[in-house]
């Protein structure tokens, strides 16, 4: 069992490139970076330093494009931020 007082840390992010490429119809793109189509669901796998508990706060930051537009989904264990209002733009 991990120490609950330790800060939650992301050790690795797997963007599941092959799975997402099939569902986004981007498997023929010649890039090592994941390519997602706007408005479609994508999956990723996070490896954390300890099990995710209800008291943890998990904030993910995504940036896209050359200007680095940022979006912050509000994530809570056991819930998926599927509604647009759960995504908060970063100024």
Query: For tokens 């990723």, what's the residue?
Result: 44
Which residue, among 66, 65, 70, has the nearest Cα to 87 in the 3D structure? 70
pTM above 0.85, yes or no: no
Which residue, among 77, 76, 75, 73, has the nearest Cα to 87 in the 3D structure? 73
Kindly state whether residues 63 and 90 are assigned to the same domain: yes
Q: How many domains does the chain have?
A: 2
Tokens matching residue 25: 């119809």
Kindly state whether residues 5 and 41 are assigned to the same domain: yes
Distance of CA 46 to the CA centre of its chain: 8
Reported as a single tens digit per residue, the pLDDT across 5-55 is 688 999 998 888 777 777 767 766 676 667 776 667 788 889 999 998 888
Kindly state whether residues 37 and 65 are assigned to the same domain: no
List the domain range (segments joined by +) for residue 7. 1-53
Query: Whole-angstrom Cα distance, residue 69 to residue 62?
Result: 8
Query: Whole-angstrom Cα distance, residue 41 to residue 20?
Result: 9
Q: What is the mean pLDDT of residues 50-76?
A: 72
Kindly state whether residues 13 and 30 are assigned to the same domain: yes
């Amino acid at each position: 069992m991990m120490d609950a007082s330790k800060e939650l840390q992301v050790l690795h992010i797997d963007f599941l490139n092959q799975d997402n490429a099939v569902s986004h119809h981007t498997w023929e793109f010649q890039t090592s970076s994941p390519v997602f189509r706007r408005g479609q669901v994508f999956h990723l796998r996070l490896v954390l330093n300890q099990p995710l508990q209800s008291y943890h706060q998990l904030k993910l930051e995504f940036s896209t494009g050359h200007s680095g537009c940022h979006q912050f989904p509000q994530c809570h264990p056991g819930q998926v931020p599927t509604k647009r209002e759960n995504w908060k733009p970063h100024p």
